[in-house]
Amino acid sequence: MRSWTLLLVAGLLETAWAIGLKYTHGFTRPLASVLTGLAIAGSMILLGLAAKELPIGTAYAVWVGIGAFGAAVLGMVLFKEPVTAGRIFFLVLLLVAVMGLKATAPA
């Protein structure tokens, strides 16, 4: 269970750095750039730790899925990106895929 917790936090940090990229303005804002860099490093480190026990294909797919889902949702909320039925449908599919990978992963 520890590996899954690490992977969840890694995915949340991936969401943070993806959103953080917008705030760096091309890495011209020092504080946003440093925080984004720390989120990138933390995300990678936690992914690596989780992958010690989880299959890398599953760990990577779940990590990317959490990050993509979070970045898309926060993009809609924070940056007024389009909210369409199609986007919501595919985000739900992405969430189902991440949960399916977790449910079918070796114990």
Q: What is the pLDDT of residue 106?
A: 82
Q: Which residues contact 19 (CB under 8 A, 6 or more apart)?
A: 70, 71, 74, 75, 78
Q: What is the pLDDT of residue 107?
A: 65
Q: What residues of the chain score a pLDDT lower than 70?
A: 107
Report yes or no: 83 and 61 within 8 Å, Cβ to Cβ.
no
Q: What is the pLDDT of residue 1?
A: 86
pLDDT digits (tens, 9 = 90+) for 23-49: 999 999 999 999 999 999 999 999 999
